[in-house]
Structure 1
Amino acid sequence: MNVNSVSSTFLLIAFFVYLLAFLLFVLSITGKRWSNREPEEHTKRWGFIAFIVSVIGFACQVTFFFTRWAEGGHIPTSNMYEFMTFLGMMIMFAFLIVYLIYRTPVLGIFALPIGFIMIAYASVFPSEIQPLIPALQSYWLKIHVTTAAAGEAFFAVGFAGGLMYLLRAVDFKGTTKQDKREQRGIELTLFFILMLIAFIGSIFTFNGSGYKVTFTKQVTVTDAQGQQQTNTQNETYVLPPIVQPYGMQAVEMRPFLGMTEPLFTAPSWMEGASAGRKLNTVIWSVLGGLILYGLARLVARKPLGAAIGPVVKGMDPEDLDEISYRAIAIGYPIFTLGALIFAMIWAQEAWGRFWGWDPKEVWALITWLFYAVFLHLRLSKGWQGKKSAWLSVIGFIVVMFTLVGVNLVIAGLHSYAGV
């Protein structure tokens, strides 16, 4: 058995151990009503067991990280598969740190899913170990990417704390305009989570069934000697193509639900790497998210926020507010170092300039400014409670757009991350 297969096995083990830890955290909260023990004793005991299981899962993922590093000869953060698995690992690390501070089992119910969803999301990308492209052959890869991901991981825990606070504080029976607006905001946030789950599920389903459609076009390039060469460019879909890439034609398309050809073509201005395929994936994710949300509403027979809210009913809102703020306060200086300072130093070495308005650079700056405003409003203007919680939720949505969405729209110097 080679090291790469060992690393993949440890990642798979970590994923299922995280799932088990999540279920144990759920049991620590919901099982207390059926336990013969005192509710507080039951929560503490099963919360501790769930924490230990989480540590075991984290140890398995750390093993995956270092065995893959040994096989590839470079730190495994060079493409989307490696970066998202590393981000999932750092989210778990951030969760463990925050849990040790506050000892709040309900945090595991909301933070753990973010971690293993990231791992599942990573799994839709090619997992083969790839050689480093020249732009990444630098020791700054270790410093920049790891610290940036660590900062984003604490933002994820802050998001979990903020969402928990909103589920605890929002009046789901209220009928005022503010109540209705807050209820819609919670439902939209939960819909985004379900949309990500639908994306992962659809990729695994169609990939498992062997569904593939290949689009192709002829591209003429001129070499250094001025001679023209015609190359064939291919784009492979694993989801039924609602959208075909701009300027490309399908070699052969398997019918799906009566659809024998794409419904429309991606716009020409979408220049990101594999933009047509990614737009197609976004459409499928939205459709899948709507289906999952509809099914969840049918099962719950009420808005999802109102259905989940009782899980955090016994929590002190001030504790949840503090968890969200502290996680972001820890993550912000780490993110500042990794995503801005170290990134600019590396950019100077690699491209001869500290700043170049590359899309990823711009959105990293937007993320940094957003959390700077969050901390300013929190510390100087007294924005606590719901205002702070909403900012923590919106902030992590900005982080996710920086990680995923930017590659969809505009090509840039960081487009290799979408491979």
Structure 2
Amino acid sequence: MTLIDFSSDAFIAAFFLYCLAFTFYGVAVMGKRFRKRDPEVHLAKWGKIAFYTAVLGLIGHLTYFITRWIWAGHVPVSNMYEFMTFLSMSIMVAFIVLYMLYKKSLLGLFALPLTILIMAYAAVFPQEVQPLIPSLQSYWLGIHVTMASLGDAFFAVGFIAGLMHLLRTVNFSSAERSDRKEQRWLEFCMFLIVVMIGFMVSVYSFRAAGYEASFSQVQWNEKLQQDQTVQVEYDMPPIVSPYNSETIAFDSFLGMSKPLFQAPSWMEGINAARKLNTVLWSILSGLVLYALIRVLLRKPIAQFIQPALNRLDPDDLDEISYRAIAIGFPIFTLGGLIFAMIWAEIAWGRFWGWDPKEVWALITWLFYSIYLHLRLSRGWQGKNSSWLSVLGFIVVMFTLVGVNLIIAGLHSYAGTE
């Protein structure tokens, strides 16, 4: 067994330990309903078991990270697979830090699913150790990316605590207009989470089925100043085909023997149409999965989850959310902006270039600046603060994932093909 094989095995072990820890959290919350013993004792016992299992998972995750670093010869954060695996590990680190401060074990009930989802999402991308392109061959790679993702990880825990606060406090029994509005927006947040799950289910399903389709696309080559024909490969049924393309191979799916439409001409890049196709499949899969869940639960997902959080103090959740964001903000400021600009000057000869990822990193920073200002100066606490923490993490995820899927830029080299 090579070191890289051992690294992969450690990653898989961490994934299953996280899944086991999440199961134990489920036993802690749901099992107390079916036992005659003191619910608080039951919750404390299984909460500790779940926490220590999650710690073992983090040890496996760290083992993966260190051994891959040794094998690759550089910090393994240079593509989407490596970055998302590091982000998921950082979320666990942030969760454990906040757990040590507040001893709120049930944070893991939400932190672990987010970690598991991000690990599963990472596995969608190529996992081979790749040589660094010239612009990445710098020690600033590790400094910038690791600190930025660690800041994002604390934002993620802030989101988790904020979401739990909303799940705990939104009044589902009320028919008041303001309460109904909160119910709808909270359920929309649940839908977005289901869309992410639906995306991964569809990707893994089509890969397991060996689905393939390919197109020849004529593109204008700026360097050669002439048209160039390229081949575009799909591993999901093409709802949308590349602009100005012809079909080479197409596996029929559910009676669909050709794409429904072509991508618009303004979508540039060889992967643009395929990324749009991925977004469309994510939404469709999410809609189907959400409908199935609603049929099974016979009530909104948020309303179904709420009883599990009744024993948590909303004020504690609000404080944890704020504290996590307050810790993450200076870390993100250093990693996501200051160190990023220093590296940009070294790599590209300018501190700022309005690249889409740079712009959205700035939007993220400005959003959390506003959050802290409203929290500290205007007294925005409780639900107002929690809604901002949820919205902020949506901005974070669009910066990390959406920009790569939708917008082409200098940061699109990170394994999104």
Query: TM above 0.5, one fold?
Result: yes
- Which residue is equivalent to 1:288? 285
The answer as to whether partners of 1:21 and 1:53 remain within 8 angstroms in 2 is yes
Counterpart residue number, 1:49: 49
2:254 equivalent to 1:257 = yes
User: In structure 2, what is the Cα distance between the partners aligned to 1:121 and 1:172?
Assistant: 32
Write the letter of the residue equivalent to 1:45. K
- Does residue 407 of structure 1 match 2:399? no
Q: Deviations over 1:374-409 (max 9, x none)?
A: 011001100000000000000000000001111233
In structure 2, the partner of 1:159 is 159
Output the CA distance in 1 between the equivalents of 2:158 and 2:394.
Answer: 12
Instruction: Tell me if 1:326 matches 2:323.
Output: yes
CA distance in 2, matches of 1:220, 1:172: 55
Q: In 2, distance between residues paired with 1:310 and 1:273?
A: 48
Q: Is the aligned partner of 1:110 residue 2:110?
A: yes
What secondary structure sits across from 1:414 in the alignment? helix
Measure the CA separation in 2 of the matches of 1:246 and 1:340.
Answer: 35
Could you give the per-residue CA deviations for residues 280-305 of structure 1, whole angstroms, max 9, x where no partner exists?
11111111111111111111111111
What residue is the counterpart of 1:27 in the other structure? 27
Amino acid at match of 2:284: L
- Unpaired segments ≥5 residues, structure 2: none
Residues 246 and 220 of structure 1, relative CA distance in 2, 3 Å threshold: closer
CA distance in 1, matches of 2:220, 2:116: 43
TM-score normalised according to structure 2 size: 0.97
**Worse overlay, 126-135 or 99-108:** 99-108
Q: SS of 1:173's equivalent?
A: coil
2: CA distance, partners of 1:197 / 1:190: 11
Q: Is the 8 A contact 2:217 2:242 kept in 1?
A: no
Secondary structure of the residue aligned to 1:234 is strand
1:377 counterpart = 2:370: no
Q: Distance in 2 between matches of 1:229 and 1:267?
A: 20
**CA–CA separation in structure 1 for the residues paired with 2:329 and 2:306:** 28
Alpha-carbon distance in structure 2 between the residues aligned to 1:297 and 1:391: 26
Letter in 2 for 1:11: F
> Does the aligned pair in 2 maintain the 1:43–1:105 contact within 8 Å?
no
Query: Residue 309 of structure 1: which of 306, 311, 315 is its match?
Result: 306
Q: Which residue of 2 aligns with 1:18?
A: 18
| Cα shift at 1:147 | 0.1
Name the counterpart of 2:196.
196
**3-state SS of the aligned residue for 2:130?**
coil
- Between the aligned partners of 2:160 and 2:67, the Cα distance in structure 1 is 30
Rounded Cα–Cα distance in structure 2 between residues aligned with 1:376 and 1:365: 16
CA distance in 2, matches of 1:272, 1:384: 44
Alignment of 1:175-190 (within 5 A): 175-190=175-190
SS in 2 for 1:268: coil
Give 1:34 shift.
2.6
Task: Tell me which moved more, 241-250 or 253-262.
Answer: 241-250
Aligned residue number for residue 90 of structure 1 = 90
Q: CA deviation at 1:249?
A: 2.2
Task: Give 1:339's aligned residue.
Answer: 336
Q: Distance in 2 between matches of 1:96 and 1:320?
A: 15
Counterpart CA distance in 2 for 1:316 and 1:260 is 55
Aligned length: 416
Corresponding letter in the other structure for 1:193: I
Which segments of 5 or more consecutive residues in structure 1 lack a partner in the other structure?
none
Inter-partner Cα distance in structure 1 for 2:64 and 2:244: 40
Is 1:239 the equivalent of 2:254? no
- Displacement of 1:234 in angstroms is 2.1
For residues 380 and 272 of structure 1, what CA distance do their matches in structure 2 show? 45
Q: Secondary structure at the match of 2:128?
A: coil
The aligned amino acid for 1:107 is: L
Alignment of 1:359 with 2:360, yes or no, is no
Distance 1:91 1:74, change over 3 A: same
Q: Is the 8 Å Cα contact of residues 26 and 106 (structure 1) preserved in structure 2? A: no
Distance in 1, Cα, partners of 2:408 & 2:288:
31
Per the TM alignment, residue 106 of structure 1 is displaced from its structure 2 partner at its CA by 1.7
Kept in 1, the 8 Å contact 2:275–2:406? The answer is: no
The alignment partner of 1:217 has SS state of: strand
SS in 2 for 1:258: coil
Provide the C-alpha distance between the structure 2 equivalents of 1:250 and 1:103, rounded to a whole number of angstroms. Answer: 57
Post-superposition Cα deviations, 1:350-388, rounded to whole Å, max 9, x if no partner, equal 111111111111100000000000011001100000000
C-alpha distance in 2 between matches for 1:250 and 1:70:
43
Q: Which residue of 2 aligns with 1:142?
A: 142
Which position in structure 2 is the counterpart of 1:67?
Answer: 67
- Provide the C-alpha distance between the structure 2 equivalents of 1:377 and 1:221, rounded to a whole number of angstroms: 49
Q: Secondary structure at the match of 1:241?
A: coil
Q: 1:410 deviation in Å?
A: 2.6
Q: Does the CA contact (< 8 Å) of 2:217 and 2:244 recur in 1?
A: yes
User: What SS does structure 2 have at the residue aligned with 1:215?
Assistant: strand
SS at match of 2:230: strand
